[in-house]
Amino acid sequence: MADYLKFEQRRVDTQVIASLTLKDRRQVLTTYLLAYLKDQSVSATAQITFETFHEYGAFRHKDSKLTRNKEITIIKGFIDNHLRKHKLIDPEVAVGKDLIPKERIKTSDLDANPAISPEDWSVINRYIRHN
C-alpha cells in the first residue's frame, strides 16, 4: 500500500491528480481498508478471495451508501492499479465483477438534505419572532 501511495504522490507532484484525491485515497486505504481487512483476518493479499469484500457494506454501515460506494471505487482502483498490476493478488479474483459489490442508490438516498417544507418554515419563523 505504501508503494501505491508513493506512486499516487508522484502523480500529485506532476499534477496528474489533485492533492485532495490523494488525501481521500490515503484515508480510505489506510483507515478503512486496513481496519476491514484486519476484521476479516486478512493479513496478506494472497488471502483475498471472491468473498473477502462482501461484508464491507455491513462493516461501514454507519456511513451513507454514497460514501461507501466512493470508498469501494477507491479500493477497487487500488486492487486494479496496484495489486493486480504487480501480481500481488490472484488475477481471477481481481477481475471479478462482484469482488466489491456496490450498493444501489435510490433517489431518496440522494436527498440527504431535503428542502424545508412550508410547515417547517412556519415553525422556524414563529420561533425566531417570539424568541
What CATH number does residue 94 fall under? 1.10.150
Q: Is residue 33 part of a domain?
A: yes
**Digits of tens for pLDDT over the chain (131 positions)?**
999 999 999 999 999 999 999 999 999 999 999 999 999 999 999 899 999 999 999 999 999 888 999 999 999 999 999 999 999 998 888 887 788 888 888 776 666 677 788 888 899 999 999 87
- Residue 124 covered by a domain: no
- Cβ contact 68:103 at 8 Å: yes
Gap between the Cα atoms of 60 and 66, Å rounded: 11
Domain annotation covers residue 131 = no
Residue 122 located in a structural domain: no
Q: Is residue 116 part of a domain?
A: no
Q: How many domains, in total, are found in the chain? A: 1
End-to-end CA distance of the chain: 55
| Residue span of the structural domain in which 38 resides | 2-106
The confidence score (pLDDT) of residue 70 equals 94
Give pairs for 70-78: CB < 8 Å, separation 24+.
Answer: 70/24, 70/28, 71/28, 71/32, 72/100, 72/101, 72/102, 74/24, 74/25, 74/28, 74/29, 75/28, 75/29, 75/33, 75/100, 76/100, 77/25, 78/1, 78/4, 78/25, 78/29, 78/33
* pLDDT at res. 113: 72
- pLDDT at site 1: 93
Q: What is the pLDDT of residue 111?
A: 66
Please report whether residue 31 resides in a domain.
yes
Does the residue 59 lie in any domain?
yes
pLDDT of residue 112: 62
Q: Is residue 46 part of a domain?
A: yes
